[in-house]
Amino acid sequence: MTNFKLTVSDVKGKSVTKELKDNDGNPLLGLLIGNETDAGIVGLKGKLKVTGGSDKSGVPMRSDIHGAARKRVLLSKGVGLQDAEIGQRVRKLMRGNTISEEIYQLNCKFDGELPVEAPVEKTENPEEKKE
């Protein structure tokens, strides 16, 4: 029973959020950051490359931490660290690079262009015109 919010970005910078419920997200379990999978799980043709994500409490995934567990790591730069001065290191809580059931949000890169959805036009009711 996995629920993922999948943010898919294309090469032009456009992004779309899809929600995968229950068994739809099972092909993603066990993948590492940087692995590719089929884009058919979100209804696209092509490949998706996993670029990152976060768990249910907002702890970010980091590609150089192995496994799916949370760990406190000493960082000087990179993912999950905002402002560090030169020579400063900070111990932060990070999640490993493996997708597990605790992951809530995933970021992916699509190898093509996302289809443009037509805007929904407002239809007028003929009864409203009788004034």
Residue 35: pLDDT band by 50, 70, 90 thresholds?
Answer: very high
One-letter amino acid for residue 101 of the chain = E
Domain coordinates of the chain in residue numbers?
A: 4-110
Average pLDDT in the 92-119 region?
85
For the segment 109-124, what is each residue's pLDDT rounded down to a tens digit? 988 788 776 455 555 6
One-letter amino acid for residue 98 of the chain = T
Determine phi and psi for 120, rounding to 5 degrees: -80, 120
Q: What separation, in Å, do the N-terminal and C-terminal C-alpha atoms of the chain show? A: 54
CA 19 to CA 4: how far, in whole Å? Answer: 6
CA 61 to CA 97: how far, in whole Å? Answer: 6
For the segment 71-80, what is each residue's pLDDT rounded down to a tens digit? 999 988 888 8
